[in-house]
Amino acid sequence: MAVAHTLSLHNISKYYGKLAAVDDVSMTIERGQFLTLLGPSGSGKTTVLMSIAGFVEPSAGEIRVDGRPITHLPPEKRNFGMVFQGYALFPHLTVADNVAFPLTVRGRPAAEKAEKVKAALDLVQLGTLADRLPRQLSGGQQQRVALARALVFEPDILLLDEPLSALDKKLRAGLQWELRALHRRVGTTFIYVTHDQEEALSMSDEIAIIRNGKIVQKGKPRELYDRPVSHFIADFLGESNFLAAEAGEASGDGFAYRAGGSSFRQAGARPAEARVLVALRPAKIRISTAEPTDAVNRIAGTIKSWSYRGNEFHFLVGTALGDMNVSQPTWRARVEPEEGLGVWLAWDPDASVVQRELV
Ligand SMILES: Nc1ncnc2c1ncn2[C@@H]1O[C@H](COP(=O)(O)OP(=O)(O)O)[C@@H](O)[C@H]1O
Ligand SMILES: [Mg+2]
């Protein structure tokens, strides 16, 4: 469909009085990417997206498309599509007329409109519902109409602000797959805003995590999940156990550290500072009743509580390192869960990551 463009933000800030809703954000979004802006509520996601769209004027900085500044260009001159959480369809217009709207305001001839509306509706698999009114559609179908409307004029970039958050969980999962597939089909840059970690991890080529108006880490979903640069990110992108540790001697391809009165090993370079925080995902810990004598890192503990979550067990295990969260696929569990049961926890030196930043 449309030709994708490279978008870049250069030191963008937006102040409301003294509040920096967006605080010195710079990033490049390569053409054709699916980039997700992920952050808690109030972190500045919508303000960044609205600055890109042209509805919010940045207090400082520059926005460029293929190197050309567009910071002060009005929204209608940017040729970006937008989809919001609310569907914002015209209730008195049919599906076809809703989708045709952007072409109508651009004064396109009827024949071209009919052809493009049909193509856009086929793209979101709504070809058979063209004559319905919005109220005759489900929430998921209405959001697909909004998508078709945002894509019908072949935008250079599609901006999506929490488009699935009004839908129930099952429907949302279905539309996540569809949006991914749609992105591959049209090849346009998608900039997607969400506060939902799982959604971000499953859909994106790249994720930029935003906190207090600042981008704190940007990378591929697996990089962010496996190598979070801060406590905040390790915690925000799923759960982690944090071990306050003292780094020791470097040797081989890693180094030793002490925590809770015992010694453990960590893969990778020894950090410059001695006091470190080791982050360990619950799913990367093995649990057993027998001592795993061949495990490099192991510690004894007691099951304090546990829960069954269908495909996995969740354990809270009291140890000399403090309470540890452990999750285990039910099919692989080597422990019959029971409160008060003595267990062993084990993990590999490369299962954990050392946090560079103590925040
Ligand atoms: N028009 C506005 N006037 C004043 N403050 C605003 C305005 N828009 C957003 N803010 C504030 O800026 C911060 C970021 O808001 P927003 O970008 O909507 O966050 P998010 O989309 O991540 O929830 C919040 O503290 C919010 O209250
Ligand atoms: Mg928002």
- 47: confidence class by pLDDT, cuts 50, 70, 90: very high
Range of the domain at 253: 239-355
Check pLDDT > 70 for residue 1.
no
- Say how far apart CA 149 and CA 128 lie, in whole Å: 16
Query: Which helix or strand (DSSP H or E) is residue 316 part of?
Result: strand 312-319
Same domain, 89 and 163: yes
Tokens of 116: 């493009």
Q: 156 in a domain, yes or no? A: yes
* Residue located via tokens 């004894």: 300
Ligand nearest to the CA of 37: 1
From atom 11 of ligand 1, which residue's Cα is the shortest distance away?
A: 21
| 162-165: Cβ within 8 A, 24+ apart | 162/84, 162/85, 162/193, 162/194, 162/195, 163/83, 163/84, 163/85, 163/192, 164/194, 164/199, 165/85, 165/194, 165/195, 165/196
Same domain, 255 and 149: no
Least confident segment among 61-70, 78-87, 156-165, 209-218: 78-87
pLDDT per position as a tens digit, 179-193: 999 999 999 999 999
SS3 per residue for 322-335: EEEEEEEEHHHCCC
Segment 269-286 mean pLDDT: 92
Q: 161 in a domain, yes or no? A: yes
Q: What is the number of the ligand 1 atom nearest to the C-alpha of 44?
A: 17
Looking at per-residue pLDDT, the higher value among 295 and 335 belongs to 295
Indicate the top mutation candidate among 22, 23, 41, 47 to test ligand 1's pocket, ranked by most ligand atoms within 8 A of CB. Answer: 47
From atom 17 of ligand 1, which residue's Cα is the shortest distance away?
A: 44
Indicate the top mutation candidate among 19, 38, 192 to test ligand 1's pocket, ranked by most ligand atoms within 8 A of CB. Answer: 19
pLDDT per position as a tens digit, 238-251: 889 999 999 999 99
pLDDT per position as a tens digit, 19-29: 999 999 999 99
SS3 for 262? strand
Confidence (pLDDT) at 2: 47
From atom 26 of ligand 1, which residue's Cα is the shortest distance away?
A: 42
Of 211, 234, 257, which closes a domain? 234
Q: 2 in a domain, yes or no? A: no
Confidence (pLDDT) at 358: 52
Q: Ligand 1 center to residue 207 CA distance, Å? A: 20
Q: 102 in a domain, yes or no? A: yes
Q: How many CB atoms lie within 10 A of CB 287?
A: 25
Ligand 1 interacting residues, C-beta cut-off 6 A: 16, 19, 21, 39, 41-47
Q: Ligand 2 center to residue 244 CA distance, Å? A: 34
Indicate which CATH number applies to the domain containing 314. 2.40.50.140
- How much is the CA Rg of the chain, to the nearest whole Å? 25
Q: Ligand 1 center to residue 20 CA distance, Å? A: 9
Looking at per-residue pLDDT, the higher value among 121 and 239 belongs to 121
Indicate which CATH number applies to the domain containing 177. 3.40.50.300
For the chain, the domain total comes to 2
Q: How many CB atoms lie within 10 A of CB 90?
A: 12
From atom 25 of ligand 1, which residue's Cα is the shortest distance away?
A: 42
Residue percentage of the chain with pLDDT more than 70: 97
Largest CA distance in the chain: 77
Contacts of 141 (CB under 8 A, 6+ apart): 126, 129
| pTM across the whole model | 0.86
Same domain, 155 and 296: no
Q: Ligand 1 center to residue 42 CA distance, Å? A: 6
Q: Ligand 2 center to residue 232 CA distance, Å? A: 20
- 357: confidence class by pLDDT, cuts 50, 70, 90: low
Same domain, 201 and 303: no
Mean per-residue pLDDT of the chain:
93
